[in-house]
């Protein structure tokens, strides 16, 4: 049988984007319940940066691959695959381990359980900017926090792809999204994206502004990927019985436990990962239905900051880590 190879993104040491390489790897034939995909676009995430710098939930095993999501065309299907055929446009849902199931490559072999069909006519770049962000935000805000009409929800790192997805989802359920960003540079863009209020945390007093915006009600939900000292002003402005969902760990500083805010308001601090949704079939289907409906009615529209070519993978990650982006950074093949 002819040997098939594909270029994949790999790295051999911890470091910045410059350690990334495009290297040939062998692509096996799909198993009975798997498909082979020709990749058309990739979405970049902070999780890949954390893996490359050994700050992720798993450590890299060298040479390490990476990547959580991709979209492309099915080229071959296994004998037990049902509901998918050669030529279908599909997206790959995130796997728990990037090292074992990476997506940054020209060709992939993926179990059918990690596939979702793209909406008809959806551009490749938009498909690559859809599933990680909307699954993450929907699972946290709707399935875990029970976000509902009239709730104040504070969204930090609001200009990220997940932050913008959270704003759109909050609007769709009738909640009031308060966007928190570091400076006022992205203020108008966040208002245009649907934020009811925008707070620049390095230029304004976060606690005072949150109290001003939410009044006596306080914020019932906080959605944060940052951690660190921001926990104290966030929890101090939360509503009785409110829930803070932490889905990242981007701040290198220690995260204090806000004991008296938690005690006095009976707050819930909840760690969250997208696998809470993906590994429960019923929750996954509920999330997919919501996302498909939102894409169809226009309430959910992926925001793409910039697209790069596959050969520009180092530049793409440099741009992601510069914090200049507004929305998703996409790589096209």
DSSP states along 286-330: HHHHHHHHHHHHTS----EEEEEEGGGHHHHHHHHHTT--SBEEE
Q: Are residues 138 and 269 in the same domain?
A: yes
- The answer to whether residue 292 is domain-embedded is no
How far is the C-alpha of 46 from the C-alpha of 41, rounded, in Å? 17
Q: Find the CATH number of the domain harbouring 326.
A: 3.90.180.10
Q: Which residues contact 62 (CB under 8 A, 6 or more apart)?
A: 11, 12, 13
How far is the C-alpha of 225 from the C-alpha of 307, rounded, in Å? 23
- The confidence score (pLDDT) of residue 90 equals 98
Q: Are residues 140 and 263 in the same domain?
A: yes
What distances in angstroms separate CA 316 from CA 131, 211, 310, one per listed residue? 19, 38, 9
How far is the C-alpha of 127 from the C-alpha of 264, rounded, in Å? 44
Q: Are residues 124 and 142 in the same domain?
A: no
Closest CA to 160 of 305, 317, 316: 305
Q: Are residues 80 and 69 in the same domain?
A: yes
Q: Are residues 121 and 51 in the same domain?
A: yes
Q: Are residues 260 and 215 in the same domain?
A: yes
What is residue 118's DSSP assignment?
P
- The confidence score (pLDDT) of residue 5 equals 84
Q: Find the CATH number of the domain harbouring 149.
A: 3.40.50.720
Q: Are residues 124 and 38 in the same domain?
A: yes
- The confidence score (pLDDT) of residue 31 equals 93
Q: Hey, which residues does 184 pair with through a beta bridge?
A: none
Segment 95-98 long-range contacts (CB within 8 Å, at least 24 positions apart): 95/68, 96/275, 96/279, 97/58, 98/47, 98/48, 98/51, 98/56, 98/58, 98/65, 98/66, 98/67, 98/68
Q: Are residues 121 and 44 in the same domain?
A: yes
Q: Are residues 121 and 253 in the same domain?
A: no
What distances in angstroms separate CA 317 from CA 29, 45, 159, 321, one per listed residue? 30, 9, 16, 6
- The confidence score (pLDDT) of residue 2 equals 60
Number of structural domains (the chain) is 2
Q: Would you state the structure tokens that stand for residue 333, as one six-digit string? A: 């093949």
Q: Would you state the structure tokens that stand for residue 148, as one six-digit string? A: 């509902």
Task: Map tokens 């902070």 to a residue.
Answer: 46
- Domain housing 87: 4-130+303-332
How far is the C-alpha of 276 from the C-alpha of 247, rounded, in Å? 11
Q: Are residues 193 and 311 in the same domain?
A: no
- The answer to whether residue 118 is domain-embedded is yes
- The answer to whether residue 297 is domain-embedded is no
- The answer to whether residue 109 is domain-embedded is yes
* Model confidence pLDDT, tens digit, residues 234-266: 999 999 999 999 998 888 899 999 999 999 999
What is residue 105's DSSP assignment?
B
- The answer to whether residue 157 is domain-embedded is yes
Say what the alpha-carbon torsion angle 65, 66, 72, 73 is, to the nearest 10 degrees.
30
At residue 70's C-alpha, the angle toward residues 57 and 68, to 5°, is 0
149 three-state secondary structure? coil
Q: Would you state the structure tokens that stand for residue 291, as one six-digit string? A: 């996302």
- The answer to whether residue 140 is domain-embedded is yes
Q: Are residues 148 and 234 in the same domain?
A: yes
Per-residue pLDDT of the chain (333 residues; tens, 9 = 90+): 567 889 999 999 999 999 999 999 998 999 999 999 999 999 999 889 989 999 888 888 999 999 999 999 999 999 999 999 999 999 999 988 888 899 999 999 999 999 999 999 999 999 999 999 999 999 999 999 999 999 999 999 999 999 999 999 999 999 999 999 999 999 999 999 999 999 999 999 999 999 999 988 899 999 999 999 999 999 999 999 999 999 988 888 999 999 999 999 999 999 999 999 999 999 999 999 999 999 999 999 999 999 999 999 999 999 999 988 899 999 999
Instruction: Note the pTM of the prediction, 2 decimals.
Output: 0.93
- The answer to whether residue 296 is domain-embedded is no
Task: Map tokens 């959580």 to a residue.
Answer: 68
Closest CA to 35 of 83, 78, 88: 78
Q: Are residues 261 and 185 in the same domain?
A: yes
What b/e string do you get for 53-67 counting C-beta neighbours within 10 Å, with b at 16 or more? eeebeeebeeebbbb
- The answer to whether residue 69 is domain-embedded is yes
* Alpha helix (H) residue ranges in the chain: 46-52, 124-128, 131-138, 161-173, 187-192, 206-214, 231-236, 259-265, 275-278, 281-297, 313-321
């Amino acid at each position: 049988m002819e040997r098939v190879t594909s270029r994949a993104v790999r790295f051999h040491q911890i470091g910045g984007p410059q350690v990334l390489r495009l290297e040939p790897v062998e692509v096996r034939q799909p198993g009975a319940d798997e498909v082979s995909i020709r990749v058309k676009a990739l979405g970049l995430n902070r999780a890949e940066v954390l893996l490359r710098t050994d700050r992720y939930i798993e450590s890299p095993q060298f040479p390490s691959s990476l990547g959580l999501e991709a979209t492309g065309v099915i080229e071959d299907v296994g004998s037990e695959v049902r509901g998918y055929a050669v030529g279908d446009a599909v997206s790959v849902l995130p796997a728990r381990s990037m090292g074992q199931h990476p997506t940054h490559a020209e060709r992939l072999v993926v179990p059918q359980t990690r596939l979702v069909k793209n909406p008809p006519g959806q551009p490749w770049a938009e498909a690559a900017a859809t599933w990680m962000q909307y699954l993450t935000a929907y699972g946290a805000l709707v399935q875990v926090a029970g976000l509902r009409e009239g709730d104040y929800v504070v969204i930090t790192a609001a200009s990220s792809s997940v932050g913008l997805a959270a704003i759109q989802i909050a609007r769709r359920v009738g909640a009031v999204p308060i966007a928190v960003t570091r400076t006022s540079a992205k203020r108008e863009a966040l208002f245009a994206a649907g934020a009811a209020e925008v707070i620049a945390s390095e230029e304004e007093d976060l606690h005072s502004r949150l109290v001003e915006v939410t009044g006596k009600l306080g914020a019932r939900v906080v959605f944060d990927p940052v951690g660190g000292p921001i926990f104290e002003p966030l929890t101090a402005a939360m509503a009785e019985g409110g829930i803070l969902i932490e889905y990242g760990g981007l701040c290198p500083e220690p995260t204090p436990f806000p004991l008296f805010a938690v005690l006095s308001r009976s707050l819930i601090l909840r760690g969250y990962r997208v696998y809470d949704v993906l590994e429960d079939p019923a929750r996954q289907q509920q999330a997919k239905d919501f996302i498909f409906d939102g894409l169809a009615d226009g309430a959910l529209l992926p925001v793409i900051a910039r697209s790069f070519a596959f050969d520009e993978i180092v530049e793409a990650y440099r741009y992601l880590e510069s914090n200049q982006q507004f929305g998703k950074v996409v790589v096209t093949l």
